[in-house]
Amino acid sequence: MPASFPTLSLDRPDDIVAHLHALGWLTATEEVVRMEKAGEGNMNLVVRAVTTRRSFILKQSRPWVEKYPSIEAPGDRMLVEVAFYQAVSDHPAVADRMPAIFAVDEGSRSAILEDLGTASDCTDLYATGRLDPQPLATWLSELHDVQVPDPLREGLRNREMRKLNHAHIFDLPMTGAHGMDLDEVTPGLQALADEFRVRAGLRDITSVLGNLYLSDGETLLHGDFYPGSWLRTGDGVKVIDPEFGFLGAREFDLGVFVAHLHMSGHSSDECSRALKAYTRPFDRELVDRFAGVEIMRRLIGVAQLPLVRTLAEKKELLSRAERLMRA
């Protein structure tokens, strides 16, 4: 990151205000009244700034994970997020369900976005289990129709973020090399994971799907289509955080989508109904296989969810993951 641009932090609010002024992102008469963490997130600095005129969201990516600064992450990911917003800007059916992007500063990997309000994301779904998936499935149909303009295509390959995600979705959960003691999550889960990891064929299935995830495709994907990226607003559910977006196979987004419907207690029939609202052709078996991997990695990988389940329930979910992976 160029030295002239600060690594912003809520510990140094004056620096944030100076940054906003330097970029002309505040009008001459506008004053920042308050700044706060916008919500729960791990990867980036995400700040809600309330001014005398409005509120907005400031987001900055840095070459590490915000919550765990010792862990490196691709520092340019804000530019991918911006490219995604640019790619969908001419598609109201997609863009209207996302925050507007007001201004971007490439040098500091920061941007300001429309504030969709303080309502929470949808990660309470794992506890409450109720969601109308139809608007989200419709949104995905529209997104997957977007023709990405040539100048944005290379950036939206998003290879570095895919590499990171590949490790956490397809590799580390199946090898256990993340080193996490799963008994600290749920006593007994470690043994379940050990036994799951050596079941015949599952490593190969995961590895084939992982290679598909790493292959370039033509469809613009959100890349992280789960309840943490869905915000409840007064204007319906909205979608945020496309930093993992890439040009790939539509079945990946669809698989992640239905995986989280499964994990929030929706039956297989309900998942099938949700997929009916996705009105473009797709390979259902491939969706199921990606869904299975997503369930597996959320249970025995590092990126755990607020999923309060007994060991028996997790065992049942892992069995469902296996059935889906073998679809």
Ligand X SMILES: Nc1ncnc2c1ncn2[C@@H]1O[C@H](COP(=O)(O)OP(=O)(O)OP(=O)(O)O)[C@@H](O)[C@H]1O
Q: Which residues bind Mg ion (CB under 5 A)?
A: 43, 241, 243
Taking CB atoms, the residue at the shortest distance from ligand X is 39
Q: 79 contacts which partner out of ligand X, Mg ion, none, CB within 5 to 8 A by kind? A: none
C-beta closer to ligand X: residue 243 or 294: 243
Which spans of this chain sit near ligand X (rule: CB under 6 A)? 38-44, 46, 57, 99, 113-117, 121, 228, 240-241, 243
User: Taking the complex as a whole, how short is the minimal distance between the CB of residue 188 and ligand X, in angstroms?
Assistant: 28
Interior angle at CA 201, CA 195 and CA 207, nearest 5? 105
Least CB distance to ligand X at residue 273 (A): 27
Which residue lies nearer to ligand X by CB, 153 or 232?
232
Sequence length of the chain is: 327
Of residues 43 and 140, the one with the C-beta less far from ligand X: 43
Paired tokens of 289: 């296989």
User: Considering beta carbons, is residue 81 or 142 the nearer one to ligand X?
Assistant: 81
Tell me which of ligand X, Mg ion, none is bound by residue 296, counting a contact when its beta carbon lies within the kind-specific cut-off of 5 to 8 angstroms.
none
CB-nearest residue to Mg ion: 241
| Smallest separation (angstroms) from ligand X to the CB of 42 | 3
Q: Which does 247 bind (CB under 5 to 8 A by kind): Mg ion, ligand X, none?
A: none
Nearer to Mg ion, 47 or 192 (CB): 47
Smallest gap from residue 101 Cβ to Mg ion (A) = 15
Smallest distance from the beta carbon of 224 to ligand X, in angstroms? Answer: 7
Asked if residues 240 and 231 have their Cβ atoms less than 8 Å apart, the reply is yes
Burial label for 147, CB within 10 Å (0-12, 13-18, 19+), is exposed
From CA 327, how far away is CA 320, in angstroms rounded?
Answer: 11
- Residue 205: CA count within 13 A, CB half-sphere: 24
Q: Residue-wise over 203-224: b if at least 16 C-beta within 10 A, else e? A: eebbeebbebbeeebebbbbbb
Q: Which of ligand X, Mg ion, none lies near 176, with the C-beta cut-off 5 to 8 A by kind?
A: none
Q: Which amino acid is at 254?
A: L
Other CB atoms closer than 10 Å to residue 260's CB: what's the count?
A: 28
Tell me, what DSSP letter sits at residue 62? Answer: B
Closer by beta carbon to ligand X, 43 or else 205: 43
Q: What is the DSSP string of 269-296?
A: HHHHHHHHT--S---HHHHHHHHHHHHH
Q: Shortest gap between Cβ of 122 and ligand X (angstroms)?
A: 10
